[in-house]
Structure 1
Amino acid sequence: MIDKLELLLALAKERHFGRAAEACGVTQPTMSTSIKQLEEILGVMLVQRGSRFLGFTPEGERTLDWARRIVGDTRAMRQDIGAMKGELSGELRIAAIPTVLGMVASLTTPFRARYPNVRFSVLSCTSSEVLGLLENLEADAGLTYIENEPLGKVHSIPLYQESYRLITSPDGMFGDRDQVTWKEVGQVPLCLLTPNMQNRRIIDRALREAGTEAHPTLTSNSIIVLYTHVKTGRWASVMPAKLAETLGLGDGVRTIPIVDPMVSYSIGLVVPQREPYTPQVAALMQTARDIAPTLQS
């Protein structure tokens, strides 16, 4: 049964029988047969079929909820029993929004000092993708905003408050100021993250509330792209203060606090609400609690 539920979750992710089969390392006929067998066991149709995958039936959607719970608990049981044999090992998969990537090492480094046999996989994605990966058991934990948009069924641990800076050259617009207002930021040609990023939505909201709007001359879903442009001293951007600090933009770039109003949002670690937590996730949560005071200082 568990292997069939695993295949069902893969189908939910890929939305295509062939790709789901390839991701699971089985043939497409094996995938189709396993789903049909699961339907026979449960006595309901789970998948809407035509010449291609058309989606899940209402019964299929409900089964997916149970599949995530059952498969998640099964994986947690295996990890928990495995941890009883000795030190923590295995892999922790962390999904993180781009603006927090600079501080991920503040979490992973002290964790690895305690548990050197645990490996990490860190994926950069949007805040909505973070939650989707957690829900579909494709990530063990996420780093994202925890109070701005609905999070769903997750447990969150606050890490720090994200505030914002105008990043510009000393001879750029407002480059000689000690602080700027959001209304003034609206006058600056900026390079910003793409609109599907929550950080960009936060910036756009702050500008609208100040009676203005962004005029980006470049957009990207990559912080590295923004960083390399700002680093030239010929581009400006709005970035979280901690990110700008971590990147170390150098003498040719100024980081100017944005006020009127002061805008801040809480960044935190999020994990699925599934107890008991695996030993790896429980240890990661404790590490997050331990480092939070240093990140807030």
Structure 2
Amino acid sequence: MELRWLEDFIALARTRHFSRAADEQNVTQPTFSRRIKLLEEEMGTTLINRQTLPLSLTPAGEEFLGLCQEVTRRVAATRQRLVHLAEEQAGQLRLAAPQSLLAKFLPQWLAGWASPPPLTPYLRATSWLASDFFEALAREECDLVLCYWPQGACPLMPESEGLEHRCLGTERMIPISLPEADGRPRFNLEARSCGTLPLIAYHPRGLIDLALRSHLEHLPAAPHFQVLHESIQSGNIRELVGLGYGLGWLPERTVRGDLVAGRLVRAGDTRWEVPLEIRLYRRRGHTQPALEALWEALSNGTAQRYPMSISSTEPP
């Protein structure tokens, strides 16, 4: 049974005339009559009393008319909702980002907009490595990538050809340790004879690990590290550092509360800090209106930009 057959029946019940109903449905009368006949065969009973002038509905036809009206009404309403949903989804921008940026940076950044851009976090991406983000952007699995990026030149950085970016802010990766009873770090980068320090590290294919290794190579007398665990998520590193298994580098904004409360302490001074940019990437030539509007706002300086620390005195 086809939906148009129900619409045919409603038209016939309204006009009580085959030729007029056929005109309303934009079909020939023979075709219209054949569809009504097929409908009756499908229902297994006579719906139209053809012996009266004008035509009338049989009792079964009256019952069936109510069903036809309800079904067509609900289909039309559902179609309208689906069209509206498709329009909403077409205006949404799929944003892939690490968990720490989604949880800490993005809400603060969006709060600075009078009318925030229509961003939808692509949650599948929270466990991705650097190359995964850019490959997904290239194959149009997402519209935007928000990521940390080394401020200095680093070897083996992921391929970003065909993409363009805007810098939304900066971040500091700071070495963190569980404190001892006297408040000093259990694992201290400043100790004269710290020996080999246990490290809760980032995945070696990640941008943060790349930036950290590059930064440490330029520091004199950097200690040796024993990598106890590698993780993509800074939250996992935070948990293991908090349990006292080793030290780890974490985004400052994610541990600010722990530092203030004394649950964690810095494991070294500012020379151990790794500066990062927070970048937003897109494909070149992307013409989605919502993305163009966002990019224009970022380009002309009307978008919110955060400094390295929200409590920092540096200008945004």
TM-score by length of 2: 0.53
Q: 2 CA distance for matches of 1:262 and 1:131?
A: 26
Letter in 2 for 1:282: E
Letter in 2 for 1:161: T
1:266 partnered with 2:277 = yes
Cα deviation 1:72-95 (Å, max 9, x = unaligned): xxxxxxxxxx99xx9996432111
Structure-to-structure mapping, 1:211-290, within 5 angstroms: 211-245=222-256, 250-256=261-267, 258-260=269-271, 263-275=274-286, 277-285=287-295, 286=297, 290=303
Mapped pair 1:291 → 2:304: yes
Displacement after TM superposition at 1:225 (Å): 1.6
Partner amino acid, structure 1, of 2:143: D
Q: Secondary structure at the match of 1:191?
A: strand
> Paired residue for 1:32?
none
Which residue of structure 1 lines up, in the alignment, with residue 28 of structure 2? none
Q: Is 1:161 paired with 2:170?
A: yes
Taking the aligned partners of 1:162 and 1:184, their CA distance within structure 2 comes to 30
Asked whether the equivalents of residues 99 and 199 of structure 1 are also in contact (C-alpha less than 8 Å), the reply is no
Instruction: Identify the match of residue 107 of structure 1 among 88, 95, 109.
Output: 109
Cα offset for 1:98?
Answer: 4.8
Give 1:18-97 correspondences, 5 Å limit: 90-97=91-98
Q: Which amino acid aligns with 1:96?
A: A
Larger Rg: 2
Q: CA RMSD in A?
A: 4.0
CA distance in 2, matches of 1:100, 1:266: 12
Would the aligned equivalents of 2:93 and 2:118 in 1 still touch at CA under 8 Å? no
* 8 A Cα contact 1:182 1:258, kept in partner: no
Aligned to 1:139: 142
The answer on whether the counterparts of 2:175 and 2:247 sit within 8 Å (CA) in structure 1 is yes
How far off is 1:263 after superposition? Answer: 3.6
Cross-structure match for 1:199: 208
- Stretches of structure 2 that go unaligned for 5 or more consecutive residues are 1-82
Which of the residues 195, 213, 218 maps onto 1:209? Answer: 218
Give the number of aligned pairs: 211
Distance 1:116 1:255, change over 3 A: same
Shift of 1:157: 1.0
3-state SS, counterpart of residue 230 of structure 1:
helix
Percent of pairs with identical residues: 17
